[in-house]
Amino acid sequence: MSIDQEFATRYGQWALITGGAQGIGAGYAERLSSIGMPLILFDIDEGELEKTAAALRDKRPEGEVKTVAVNLADAEALNAAIDSVAHLEIGLLVANAGLGAVGRWLEVPLDVKTNQIAVNCTSTLILAHRLTPAMVERRRGGVIIMASGSAEMGCSFIVTYAATKAFDRVFAEGLWAELHPYGVDVTTVMPGAVNTPGFRASLPAGHGPTRLMQPVDPAVVVDAALDGLGKTINVRPGAGWLTNALMKLMLTLMPRKRFLLLGDKAVREMYDR
């Protein structure tokens, strides 16, 4: 892993991580804390948020960690949370928080679907809108937006989730096009299955992951994302060059319907059992 104090200088002073209480978000917090970046962690789960912050402070007493408990689905509350840290120089935004809901389209309640859009899309837009102007003014900064491998296609059981992640991917690409001339790096991250509490909770009772959807460790995702920032627009953690080449070939040559059905089959094998 190549990030070091130079990374902290390039994207400092503060890093703001949403969904920072556990899983991939906590992985970002640990990695960035290890190179001396002060952290601001946003999460709805105040208890887990404070546990994660306490562990970081115990490990590195000299490090700075601020926590803000906030429901990212509430735009007013999110803007207030951003206001509370507006006096700090936030040079790195990690829009990591994501709400997933696995289930058949007809069985997932409407409020669950709209909450996914609010957390996965709207909160990311608000954060970027509020934080990137200062980055542009300083001519330096970084934005990491967590998308998903599901951004490549629609799938059964994760219909709304996949759509929100497609938004995140395209949104990040557009931000990159607009902001990179001003010294602001933007990267979107598109992992497959990741071994997080959310992933484990989504599995059908009594079943583990399938052969095709074996989860990677969150650290793999974090390291790939941080290493790819400023170098790659789309980061696909855990996928080797051959997997990436095959994916590009299928996207180019395979009829879209066939491609969708292959992806859908893999998701159904995981969740329809």
- pLDDT band of 12, cuts 50, 70, 90: confident
Residue 112: count other Cβ atoms within 10 Å of its Cβ: 14
The helix or strand, by DSSP H or E, that contains position 143, with its residue range, turns out to be: strand 141-146
User: 124-133, pLDDT tens digit by residue?
Assistant: 999 999 999 9
The pLDDT value recorded for residue 1 is 43
Alpha helices in the chain (DSSP H): 5-11, 23-34, 46-59, 75-84, 110-117, 123-138, 159-179, 197-202, 218-228, 241-253, 256-271
Question: Tell me, what's the pLDDT at 244?
Answer: 65
Q: pTM, whole model, 2 decimals?
A: 0.91
Tell me the per-residue pLDDT of 129-150, one tens digit each, with 9 for 90 and over. Answer: 999 999 999 999 999 999 999 9
Residues of the chain with pLDDT > 90: what percent? 69
Q: 25-34, 39-48, 167-176, 212-221 — which is least confidently predicted?
A: 212-221
**Average pLDDT of span 174-202:** 93
pLDDT tier at 211 (50, 70, 90 boundaries)?
Answer: confident
Q: Where are the domains of the chain?
A: 5-271
Q: Does pLDDT of 241 surpass 70?
A: no
Query: Cα–Cα distance between 267 and 14 in angstroms, integer?
Result: 38
- Check residue 200 and give its pLDDT: 85
Residue that wins the pLDDT comparison between 184 and 238: 184
Helix (H) or strand (E) holding 182: none
251: pLDDT confidence band, cut at 50, 70 and 90? Answer: confident
Average pLDDT (71-77) is: 98
Interval 85-124: pLDDT, tens: 999 999 999 999 999 899 999 999 999 999 999 999 999 9
Rounded CA-CA distance 205/257 in Å is 31
* Homologous superfamily assigned to 5-271: NAD(P)-binding Rossmann-like Domain (3.40.50.720)
